[in-house]
């Protein structure tokens, strides 16, 4: 099983890039973030023609998450519990039937949180706590669970170009990293760091100030795994090359390969 995440920064603007990458990488499941369209505007037919079922939780102009799957999507759940007033489309979870049973996959677009002196940062931290509580409940099911997405969290200094410049940013503030660690401490495995401790592995380069050309990047897109999914992990890669395509997203895909059977 090949499962990937990609903040596409408008699926309608970058539909051809997604289709091209799907053909090249052949993932079984692709989690998309920032689709920036309502459900009825999502290009389902194009992805169906490419062999993918879809589950979509969209929003006009902003946010929005989706899951594409070569396998049947049995059930889907949207939004996190804990705040009925939260109307931002940032979470979708699907139960996917595989040859070896059910795999639960979530596509996550965690709030950015900047500027930190506004209500956006408390919202980010509260959203992370809601995610932690939801994941704690899901882990009781003892099934393969993959939480894929744009977390807007830089986990450590080796995950950012010039870390000193980011200390007070919502993506790297100590409170953000502590909230991310609290999520991991439930028993989750961060897939990339389970396979390498190499620095300079980035998933995002800003459109401004020549960030891509200077490799001034961040690693903020992650695959977090339940113990049952971690046991099946065989490899992780970042498809950095797609950032050089025409009209790219500012993020690139992160891909995990999983065995059908655990170790």
pLDDT tens-digit profile of 22-50?
Answer: 999 999 999 999 999 999 999 999 999 99
| pLDDT value for 101 | 79
Coil, helix or strand at residue 111: coil
| pLDDT value for 217 | 98
pLDDT > 90: percent of the chain: 96
At residue 102 the predicted structure's pLDDT band, cuts being 50, 70 and 90, is confident
| 3 has a pLDDT exceeding 70 | yes
Strands (E), the chain: 2-7, 29-33, 53-57, 65-69, 73-78, 91-98, 101-109, 145-150, 189-190, 221-225, 233-238, 254-258
Rounded mean pLDDT of the chain?
97
Q: Which domains are present in the chain?
A: 2-258 (3.60.10.10)
| 53 has a pLDDT exceeding 80 | yes
> Mean per-residue pLDDT for 46-64?
97
| pLDDT value for 263 | 63
| pLDDT value for 100 | 76
| pLDDT value for 260 | 77
The tokens 């052949």 sit on which residue?
26
> Mean per-residue pLDDT for 93-104?
89
Beta pairing class for 29-33 and 2-7: parallel
CA 200 vs. chain centroid, Å, equals 19
């Amino acid at each position: 099983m090949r499962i990937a995440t990609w903040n596409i920064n408008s699926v309608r603007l970058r539909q051809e890039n997604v289709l091209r990458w799907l053909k090249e990488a052949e993932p079984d499941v692709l989690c998309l973030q920032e689709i920036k369209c309502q459900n009825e505007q999502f290009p389902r037919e194009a992805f169906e023609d490419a062999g993918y079922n879809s589950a979509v939780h969209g929003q006009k102009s902003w946010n929005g998450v989706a899951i594409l799957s070569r396998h049947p999507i049995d059930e889907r759940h949207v939004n996190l519990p804990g705040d009925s007033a939260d109307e931002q489309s940032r979470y979708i979870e699907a139960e996917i039937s595989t040859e070896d049973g059910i795999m639960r996959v979530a596509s996550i677009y965690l709030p950015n949180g900047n500027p930190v002196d506004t209500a956006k940062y408390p919202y980010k931290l509260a959203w992370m706590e809601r995610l932690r509580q939801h994941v704690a409940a899901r882990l009781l099911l003892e099934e393969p669970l993959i939480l894929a997405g744009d977390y807007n969290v830089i986990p450590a200094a080796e995950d950012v170009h010039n870390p000193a410049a980011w200390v007070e940013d919502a993506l790297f503030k100590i409170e953000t990293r502590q909230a991310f660690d609290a999520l991991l401490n439930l028993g989750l495995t961060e897939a990339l760091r389970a396979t390498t401790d190499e620095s300079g592995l980035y998933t995002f380069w800003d459109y401004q100030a020549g960030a891509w050309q200077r490799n001034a990047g961040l690693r903020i897109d992650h695959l977090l795994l339940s113990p049952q999914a971690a046991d099946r992990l065989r490899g992780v890669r970042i498809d950095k090359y797609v950032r050089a395509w025409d009209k790219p997203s500012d993020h690139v895909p992160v891909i995990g390969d999983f065995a059908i059977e655990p170790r």
